[in-house]
Chains A and B, each alone.
Chain A
Amino acid sequence: MRNASDTSTPLRRGSSAVQALRGAGSGRLGPFAAILVVVAVLATWPLLAGNPYMLSAGVIVLNFAVFATAWNLMGGLTGYVSLGHIAFFGLGSYGTGLLVIHSEINAFVAVMAAAVVVGLLSLLVGWAALRVRGASFVIVTIAIVLVMLLVFQSWRSVTGGSTGLVVPRPFPDLLRPEHHRVFFYIFLGLLLLVLVSYLVVDRSRFGQALKAIREDEDKAQSLGIPTAMLKLAAFGISCFLTAIAGGVYALWFGDLDPIFQFDVVLSAQIALMALLGGVRYLFGPLVGAIVVGSALEYFLLNFGETQFHLVATGLLLVAVVLFAPDGVLALAAQLIRRLGPSATSIREESAAEVRAQQDARALAERVEEPGADATTDREDRR
């Protein structure tokens, strides 16, 4: 995650390619057009996919992309890494499944109803989790996944426990390939919704405040930003969108098992996708989902259900955190900048950049003695 004290990719105006990557092209409508172009390109996949398997893999990757982009609304904008989003995904899918089974309402109305309930529930969880900063938040988010796994496995009479819950299909007449094709476009529509939501939030005052929280929560608070409320709002929106993805997934896949619906490893994989692509970029989580999602499918196809994919995910996570915490899009932007025209002779440096350089020097000194984190100590005493 980047913040003011990073210098690896200083923000600089002037390179349009870089801005396109950031999803902030020229004008107010540029990024919206970029979203449409990306979605249109993705829409060609069912034509290219040779067989139903490739089509279903496409659905899975799109599902990851929606999930990761929704996660990024919280994780990217506020810097609060949640490892518990899978709990809300799973609640959304179980809520939808139970509604479809036990009532007569339309399947997609059920998805929305479940997502609204889960969104409200997430506010309750977020209220507890966000009362303290950083570490406790992560701990609570992991705890919520573990407790949901426990509850859904034990509460057999309602959830079916480990035997699973079979959700009837919304389109019973469709053959399997057609079913995948329809859901591919439904997920694509969902991706459009999530990307636009992210962009709208990102550009609003609300989004600016969230980013202020990410950079320095103390200063944001002292400027009068109601940090607790905004963090909670971001968490609620993010969880609501995640629950929609979960509900649609339930309708598509049709079989729910607590082990997979509340899998903390998948939660980490979602965070990995966002981080790998770049949490500061509109399309970062999408790129990450395509890379990690395809890799996971590849592993599953070639090595089966072994422990190997755990090792691979773990190593990739460690590598990304250590070597590319800004994501591949940041690296690409750096490359484009290097190849593009050099900067003007008059150096334009914003106050933030000057500060970033100073911080980098301080950081370089501190790397020698990492035990001594003076800033955090100083903040403690405030």
Chain B
Amino acid sequence: MVSGALLFQSLILGLLLGGLYALLAAGLTLYFGIMRVVMLAHAAFILLSAYVAWWFSSTTGLDPMISLVATIPLFFGIGYVMHRFLLARLRPTTMTMMSVLLTFGIALVIEGLLGLAWTGTQRRIHLPYGTSSVEFLGAQIPVVQIVSFALAALSLASLYLIMKRTQFGRSLRATIQHGQAAQLVGIDTTKVAGMGFGLGLATAAVGGAALSLQATIYPSLHWHWIGPLMAIIVVGGLGSIPGAAIAALALGTIRVLLEIPMGSTWAQTVFYVALFLTLMLRPQGFFGGRLAQRF
């Protein structure tokens, strides 16, 4: 019989993990909204950022979070360049399928370069607060999980404010909704879309640093992340950021709860089960708008 305390602890841990997943899936949703692109390299970029955080922390001895000062602008720039010079060159009619292969290629290049640079050895950041935990209503919550959840919540809140309150955010949403109309009111849609892509990749930088705190990393790990993340965006409804966030919280919690009876390997299948159920019951996802039905 599972004790109440264990259940409560798992629930908290699940919500914390779900929050992180929400941040990671937000980037994927953003790319899809902007260009109908399934960005398979997203998890590879997350891993790249995690490696940079690990490398920074192990060479300087400082906190891995400080690496974000460099990686966020860098990833923003990479995203802008990727959109401008790679994805925008694809033919619009075959964009979805070709972008999958293109970003798959980029993911392979990143995985290969990570392996060449730092070998296939498993790496882990050692932090002074790495093993400590706080007690909350009888549940033991590791500090690293709280830190990465806080980072995810902060980034999602900033993303929300950028999208809703700034001039750039309004232009980006207009571009996503109707590109031509956005042009007619004087928005430079190419530039805005490129910056939106950069924004998506910047979330990968934050997510990677947050994950590096609690995960053991190795070059082919990104395949284990991209599957759940893609399942989340389909369940939430392609193109819907709130949908992705809700699906992430729900699936993250279910996953951690299932780990009690099933073990961690089988618990991962919850994402794929949810993906198949969604496609059978409600193919457009649970929160998707008009975008999801067609793509």
Cβ contact of A310, chosen from B112, B182, B230, cutoff 8 A: B112
Cβ contact of A139, chosen from B109, B114, B189, B275, cutoff 8 A: B275
A127-153 to B contact mask, C-beta < 8 Å, 1/0: 111011111101110111011001101
Check if B183 sits within 8 Å of A380, measured CB to CB: no
Residue A379 CB within 8 A of the other chain: yes
A343-382 to B contact mask, C-beta < 8 Å, 1/0: 0000000000000000000010011111111111101110
Residues of chain A at interface, number, CB under 8 A: 67
Query: How many Å lie between the Cα of A226 and that of B235 in the bound state?
Result: 27
Tell me, rounded to whole Å, the shortest Cβ–Cβ distance linking A7 to chain B.
Answer: 10
Query: How many Å lie between the Cα of A143 and that of B223 in the bound state?
Result: 10
Known contacts A371-B192, A375-B92: A134-B295 contact under CB 8 Å: yes
Check if B116 sits within 8 Å of A308, measured CB to CB: yes
Question: Could you say which residues of chain B place their CB within 8 Å of the CB of A367?
Answer: 88-89
Query: How many Å lie between the Cα of A291 and that of B116 in the bound state?
Result: 25
- B residues 243-295 near A (Cβ < 8 Å) are 265-266, 268-269, 271-272, 275-276, 279-280, 283-284, 290-295
Q: Is the interface of B mostly helix, strand, loop or mixed?
A: helix
Check if B179 sits within 8 Å of A369, measured CB to CB: yes
Question: Could you say which residues of chain B place their CB within 8 Å of the CB of A21?
Answer: none
Known contacts A311-B108, A318-B106: A132-B279 contact under CB 8 Å: yes
Tell me, rounded to whole Å, the shortest Cβ–Cβ distance linking B93 to chain A.
Answer: 5
Tell me, rounded to whole Å, the shortest Cβ–Cβ distance linking B193 to chain A.
Answer: 4
Chain A residue at minimum C-beta to C-beta distance from B276: A128
B73-116 to A contact mask, C-beta < 8 Å, 1/0: 00000000000001111111111111011101111111111111
Question: Could you say which residues of chain A place their CB within 8 Å of the CB of B88?
Answer: 367, 370
Residue A61 CB within 8 A of the other chain: no
Cβ contact of A268, chosen from B90, B101, B112, B115, cutoff 8 A: B101
- List the count of A-B residue pairs having beta carbons below 8 Å apart: 210
Q: How large is the interface on B (under 10, 10 to 19, 20 to 34, 35 or more residues)?
A: 35 or more
Query: How many Å lie between the Cα of A61 and that of B266 in the bound state?
Result: 35
Known contacts A6-B91, A139-B234, A311-B109: A318-B180 contact under CB 8 Å: no
Query: How many Å lie between the Cα of A151 and that of B267 in the bound state?
Result: 11
Residue B34 CB within 8 A of the other chain: yes
Known contacts A80-B97, A135-B38: A370-B292 contact under CB 8 Å: no
Query: How many Å lie between the Cα of A127 and that of B113 in the bound state?
Result: 38
Check if A136 sits within 8 Å of B234, measured CB to CB: yes
Query: How many Å lie between the Cα of A142 and that of B144 in the bound state?
Result: 31
Query: How many Å lie between the Cα of A128 and that of B100 in the bound state?
Result: 19
Residue A265 CB within 8 A of the other chain: yes
Tell me, rounded to whole Å, the shortest Cβ–Cβ distance linking B167 to chain A.
Answer: 16
Chain A residues with CB under 8 Å of chain B are: 1, 3, 5-6, 79-81, 83, 127-129, 131-136, 138-140, 142-144, 146-147, 150-151, 153-154, 264-265, 268, 271-272, 275, 306-318, 321-322, 325, 363, 366-377, 379-381
Name the 10 nearest CB pairs between A and B, nearest first. A372-B179, A307-B115, A314-B108, A310-B112, A317-B105, A371-B189, A311-B112, A314-B109, A371-B193, A370-B88
24 A-B pairs with C-beta separation under 8 A: A79-B97, A134-B96, A134-B295, A135-B100, A138-B38, A142-B226, A142-B227, A143-B272, A144-B272, A153-B265, A268-B105, A308-B112, A310-B111, A310-B112, A311-B112, A314-B110, A318-B106, A322-B86, A325-B91, A368-B190, A370-B87, A371-B34, A372-B175, A373-B36
